[in-house]
Amino acid sequence: MSLRLRLALFIAVAIAGALLVQGFLGYASFERLQMGGLEQQLDAYLGRIVDQLEGRRGPPRMFRRDRDSENRSPGAGLPSLIERMGSDNAPLLPLPNPAPPGTIAHARLLREGVVLQEWGSFPPEIPIATQPQARLEQNWLYRSVRLRPGVYLQGAIEASQVRASLVGYQQTVLFTALAVAFLGALAAWLVSGPALRPLRHLQEATRQIADSGDLSLRVPTEGSGELLHLSQTFNQMLERLSAFRQRETEFTRNAAHELRTPLTAIRLQLDSQKQGLSTPEETLSVVQEEVERMTHLSESLLTLAREGRGQRVGLDLAQLALEVAQSAGVPYQGPERLEISGDPILLRQALENLIGNAQKYAPGAAVRVELESLPDRALVLLRVRDEGPGMPPEVLQRAAEPFYRAPGVRVPGHGLGLSVVAQVARAHGGKLVLRPNQPQGLLAELWIKRA
């Protein structure tokens, strides 16, 4: 069910509920009013009949249920009329039916369930009863008055008009509740359309994006408040996602590209040998060189793909730096022991890359490895300095991007070395800083958290 429909239904139900409650309360008071009037008329009518029975003239007496009719029997002062008709079954005098004007009313005199006398033709659907409360039976309101023990006067007054107006009232309440609820729902439907349009557009746009996977699409930013905010946030998310995907695609493409070069070389070399254009020795050395290159490339790619999530073990970084420096034939300067927790394989790879870079891009220039600990900041700085030509500022900025190769550089490589170093630094809660060295050359600083 759509939000719009739900909203419309909710409004409809709320309106209908409110109107029904209000209608019910109104109905209850209306019914009391109507029934009260009818009961008064019935009481007046019964009073007149009792007056007739007592042979009185005068204002009609009223019977009230709240008075104790047992103690103050209305027929207390009757002459022996009732006595007589009860005992000898003599026919009663026909008495007029004093129904109030504009109403139809009947009455009958009962003694122990036997009708003694009727005023008017008493409706047959009303049971012989002696309860003093007024009751509604079909179109009649009836009650009884106890004249003396065992003798009751039962009166019934026609209530069809009252009933009709009550039913009319009920129908009116019900109908207006339904009609207004429907109108409310319609209004809600119409109003919520434009209000929810941004949401619909957002939904369409998101579906389109989900179906096509095209992250360059944007959702329309419209409406106001939360919806506007949602669209904007959604677009920001798309921006980031598409940038991320672009980077990833770029990376993958570069990786494939880098792999294709050695593969091409090997393939051509093999073809060349097949055609007798090169010696087996030459082919072997080319294949070896290219396989070496691919191995190095795949190592770097793996490090980058793992995002440097290495293990963390306790290790002596000073020892590690000294070993790598010595095997590369460069001087090491720093403490003899420096315990940190990190990944020895990644750290070794990073340091080898830095030294390798320095030797490659600054051939013949002096290269130094330095290690320094900053205890107050829980940081360790591993530096590789060279006194080669250094890097121009724009290259310094981009040097750590994967596959970035400075324009005009003729050194073999795949442009992943420094990005691997940067990745390793990040994995150890630090970063790679590249700066010009004084007086000249490049200073690469690997910042590492001690723990």
Partner 1 sequence: MRLLLVEDEPNIARPVKRALEAQGHQVHHAPDLTTARELLMELEPDLMILDVRLPESEDGGFILAKEARSAGYKGPILFMTARDALADRVMGLDEGGDDYVVKPFDLPELLARVRALLRRVSEVKQSRVQYGPLELDLTDRSVRWEGRVVELSPREYALLERLALFPGRVYSPEELLDLIWGDEASDTGVVKVCVHHLRSKLVNSVVRTVPGGYRLGVEP
Among 125, 226, 271, 307, binds partner 1 (CB under 8 A): 271
Query: Among the candidate windows 124-132, 263-271, 344-352, 438-446, which touches partner 1 by CB under 8 A?
Result: 263-271
Nearer to partner 1, 121 or 275 (CB): 275
Token pair of 372, please?
């320094």
Contact 435, 392 (CB under 8 A): no
Query: Among the candidate windows 62-70, 318-326, 377-385, 407-415, which touches partner 1 by CB under 8 A?
Result: 407-415
Among 52, 269, 359, 373, binds partner 1 (CB under 8 A): 269
Query: Among the candidate windows 269-277, 296-304, 318-326, 344-352, which touches partner 1 by CB under 8 A?
Result: 269-277
Nearer to partner 1, 301 or 369 (CB): 301
Q: Are strands 114-119 and 105-111 parallel, antiparallel or unpaired?
A: antiparallel
Minimum distance between the CB of residue 259 and partner 1, rounded to whole angstroms? Answer: 9
Nearer to partner 1, 164 or 277 (CB): 277
378 lies in the site for partner 1, by CB under 8 A: no
Minimum distance between the CB of residue 401 and partner 1, rounded to whole angstroms? Answer: 13
267 lies in the site for partner 1, by CB under 8 A: yes
226 lies in the site for partner 1, by CB under 8 A: no
Minimum distance between the CB of residue 261 and partner 1, rounded to whole angstroms? Answer: 6
Minimum distance between the CB of residue 193 and partner 1, rounded to whole angstroms? Answer: 43
Token pair of 263, please?
């593969």
Query: Among the candidate windows 105-113, 169-177, 253-261, 307-315, which touches partner 1 by CB under 8 A?
Result: 253-261
Within 8 A by CB and 6+ apart from 390, the residues are 436, 437, 440, 441, 442
Task: In whole angstroms, give the CA distance from residue 91 to residue 86.
Answer: 10
Among 5, 183, 277, 378, binds partner 1 (CB under 8 A): 277
Within 8 A by CB and 6+ apart from 123, the residues are 106, 138, 140, 156
407 lies in the site for partner 1, by CB under 8 A: yes
* Torsion angles phi and psi, residue 63, rounded to 5: -100, 130
Question: Shortest CA distance to 150 belongs to which of 65, 241, 213, 87?
Answer: 87
Nearer to partner 1, 129 or 287 (CB): 287
Nearer to partner 1, 162 or 266 (CB): 266
DSSP structural state of residue 376: G
Residue type at position 423: Q
Minimum distance between the CB of residue 252 and partner 1, rounded to whole angstroms? Answer: 12
Query: Mask: binding to partner 1, 282-301, rule CB under 8 A, as x and -?
Result: ----x--xx-----------
Nearer to partner 1, 183 or 409 (CB): 409
43 lies in the site for partner 1, by CB under 8 A: no
Question: Shortest CA distance to 308 belongs to which of 248, 252, 349?
Answer: 349
Sign of CA dihedral 228, 233, 237, 243: positive
Task: In whole angstroms, give the CA distance from residue 376 to residue 188.
Answer: 65
Instruction: Tell me if the bond preceding 149 is cis, omega within 30° of 0.
Output: no
Contact 389, 357 (CB under 8 A): no
Task: In whole angstroms, give the CA distance from residue 56 to residue 50.
Answer: 8
Among 97, 172, 221, 261, binds partner 1 (CB under 8 A): 261
264 lies in the site for partner 1, by CB under 8 A: yes
Minimum distance between the CB of residue 348 and partner 1, rounded to whole angstroms? Answer: 28
Q: Is 252 helix (H, G, I), strand (E, B) or coil?
A: helix
Among 265, 315, 322, 381, binds partner 1 (CB under 8 A): 265
Element (H, E) at 172: helix 160-212
72 lies in the site for partner 1, by CB under 8 A: no
Alpha-carbon separation of residue 84 from 90, 130, 275, 380, 408 (angstroms): 7, 21, 149, 127, 140
Among 13, 268, 284, 291, binds partner 1 (CB under 8 A): 268
In 93-127, which positions are buried (b, 16+ CB within 10 angstroms) versus exposed (e)? eeeebbbeeeebbbbbbbbeeeebbebeebeeebe
Task: In whole angstroms, give the CA distance from residue 76 to residue 226.
Answer: 81
Nearer to partner 1, 286 or 424 (CB): 286
Binding site for partner 1 (CB under 8 A): 253, 256-257, 260-265, 267-269, 271-272, 275, 277-278, 286, 289-290, 405, 407-410
